[in-house]
Homo-oligomer: A and B are copies of this chain.
Amino acid sequence: MDPKIKDILKDYEKIWALNQANSLLNWDLETYMPKNGVEARGLAIANISLLRQTFFLELSKKVSSVKIDKLDETEAGIVRTLNRTIHYYTSIPPEIIEKFETLTSKATVVWREAKSKSDFSLFRKYLNDIVEINVIIAEKLGYEDNIYDPLMDLYEEGFTVRDADSVFDRLLSGSREIYNRIIEENIFSTPSRLEKIKYREKDMIQVNKKIIELLEMPPDRFRIDVSSHPFTTEISEDDVRITTRYEGYNFKATLFSTIHESGHAIYQLQIPSKFSRMPIARGVSSGIHESQSRFWENFIGRSKEFVHFIYPVLKYNLPFLKNYTEDRIYRYFNTVRPSLIRVDADEVTYNFHIALRYEIEKKLINSEIDVKEVPELWNDFMEKYIGIRPKNDSEGVLQDIHWSGGSFGYFPTYSLGNIVAGMIWGKHDFTGELDNMDIKAIKLHLYEKVHKYGSIYEPKKLLMKSFGETYNPDYLLAYLKKKFLS
C-alpha cells in the first residue's frame, strides 16, 4: 500500500473510533436511553461531530498531497471518499453548519406541532429558512449546471437534475400506465381484511426473530431492537444493528420493515473485511444502499416464493391467519391502491410520492416557486397521479420529517433504490435462487455485483461496471408490469 495512504489511514483511525461512538450514541438514543438523557446526549453527539470535523480538516493537507495517478483503485477510492467529506467541511463555514443545526432542530419541533394541528402556515417560515440555507450551502459547494445538483450529490454522488429529470419522466409515465391498469383490473387493488387485524406484540416478535434466522443474519455480528422509526446502523464492521416497530395491527408493516432494514444490514455486513476501518467500508450512496433494502423487501420479500417460504412461520405464530391461504397473504402483501401517505405506499405508487417531492424540492431550490405555493402543488400532483386529494396538510405536505431536518436532495434516492433494485432483478434470472429460497446464493450475487466494492467507485461507475448502464427505470417497470399485470 502507498505509504502516504497508510499514514492517512493511521490518522483516520481516530475518526473511525468517533464514528463508532456516535453511531452507538444515536442507536441508544432511539432504543434504550432513559428519557431525560436527551439533552446531555445531544450535546455529546454535537461535540463528537465537531471533533470528527476537526480531524477531517487536519487530514486534508495529507490527502491533497497524494498523487492520484500513482494509486490503485482501492487507494483512489479512499482518497475520493475522504475528499468528499473534506470538501464539505472546507466549503461550508462552521457558522453555517451551526446555523443549520440550530434552525433544523427548532424546525423539527415546530413541524411536529404543525403536523399535529394540520396547519402548514405554522411551518411555512421555517421551511422558507431551510430552503434559503440549503441554497447557501449549494452555492458554497459549487455546481456546473443546476443549483440543486450539489444537494443531491451529498447523498448520490454525481447524480444531477439532468439525470433525475430523465429518470423520473420515464418512471412516472410508465408507472402511471401500470397503476391505471391495476386499478381497472381490480385484482391487487382490493384492500385485505388483514390490514385492520390486531396482533399480539410478542407473536410478531417471534415472527421477526424467525425471519431474521431465515435471512441467515449472523447472530454474532447483528441484532434487532425496537424504536419508533425503524433504521439500520453500523456500529462497527462486526456489529450491525436494525430496529423495527410494532404498531399492533396490519402485521405486514413490521414484517417488511424488518426485511427492508435487513437488506441494508446485509450490504454493511458483506463489505469485505479487508476494507475494515477504512473510509470505503460503507455503502457507496443512499440510492445504492436503498437498492439493497428494496431488493430484499420487495423483489424477494413480496414474491410468491418468499410467501411460501415463510408461510409456516406466519401460520404457527399468528392464530388469526388460520383460514388464510398463501395466495391471500400474497395479495395482502402486494395490495396496490391509492394512498396519501408515502410510507404506506405500495411498490407501484411509491415512486409518485417521490417524484412529487423531487419536483417541489428542485423548484424551491431554483426559486421557481414560493414556499406558500407548496401545499397546492402537492395536492394537485396527488390528485393527478394517484387520484385522491389530501383533505388537510397533515396528510399532505406535512407528512414527512425530512424537510424539517434540513434534508433537500435525499428523497430522490428512494426511487433510485427501486430503480437499481429493478436493474439487479432484470439483469439476472433469480428463478433458481427463489425456487430453493437460496438466501446464500442471493447474498453472494449481491456481494459480487455491489457489496464487494465498498465505496471504491462512485455510484455511476459501479453501476456501469456491474450492470453496463446507470439508473435505468425500464427494468423496474418491466418487473412491475409482469408482477401485477400478467
Q: Chain A residues in contact with chain B, CB under 8 A?
A: 13-14, 16-18, 20-22, 24-25, 28, 32-37, 39-41, 43-44, 46-48, 51, 218-223, 225, 235-239, 241, 276-277
Contact = CB atoms under 8 A, between A and B. Distances in A.
B37 A239 contact: yes
Given A17-B47, A25-B24, A47-B13, A40 B223 contact: no
Within the oligomer, what is the number of copies of this chain?
2
A235 to B, nearest CB: 7
B236 A35 contact: no
Contacts of A39: 238
A221 B51 contact: no
Contacts of A32: 32, 223, 225
A17 B18 CA distance: 11
23 contacts: A13-B47, A14-B47, A14-B51, A16-B47, A17-B43, A17-B46, A17-B48, A18-B47, A20-B25, A20-B40, A21-B21, A21-B24, A21-B44, A32-B32, A32-B225, A34-B222, A34-B223, A36-B221, A36-B238, A36-B239, A40-B236, A40-B276, A43-B277
Interface centre among A24, A33, A225 (most CB of B within 10 A): A24
A16 B44 CA distance: 8
A310 B442 CA distance: 56
A43 B19 CA distance: 12
A239 B34 contact: yes
Contacts of A43: 13, 17, 277
A276 to B, nearest CB: 8
A240 to B, nearest CB: 8
Sorted nearest first, the 5 A-B pairs with minimum C-beta distance are A37-B239, A40-B236, A17-B47, A21-B21, A36-B238
Contacts of A48: 17-18, 21
A41 B237 CA distance: 10
A44 B23 CA distance: 12
A237 B163 CA distance: 50
Nearest to A20: B44
A276 B40 CA distance: 9
A34 B237 contact: no
A32 B243 CA distance: 14
Contact of A221 (B37, B41, B222, B235): B37
A324 to B, nearest CB: 32
Interface centre among A33, A44, A47, A223 (most CB of B within 10 A): A44
A372 to B, nearest CB: 40
A41 B236 contact: yes
Given A13-B43, A40-B237, A40-B239, 4 more contacts: A17-B43, A17-B51, A35-B221, A39-B238
Nearest to A238: B36
B34 A219 contact: yes
Contacts of A241: 34
Contacts of A223: 32, 34
A298 to B, nearest CB: 27
Contacts of A18: 21, 47-48
B25 A28 contact: no
Contacts of A36: 218, 220-221, 238-239
A144 B36 CA distance: 46
A183 B14 CA distance: 58
A40 B236 CA distance: 6
Contacts of A221: 34-37
Contact of A44 (B17, B28, B41, B220): B17
A223 B33 CA distance: 8
A220 B22 CA distance: 22
A244 to B, nearest CB: 16
Nearest to A47: B17
A238 B17 contact: no
A356 to B, nearest CB: 39
Nearest to A38: B238
A220 B34 contact: yes
A235 B39 CA distance: 12
A199 B131 CA distance: 60
A436 B96 CA distance: 58
A392 to B, nearest CB: 34
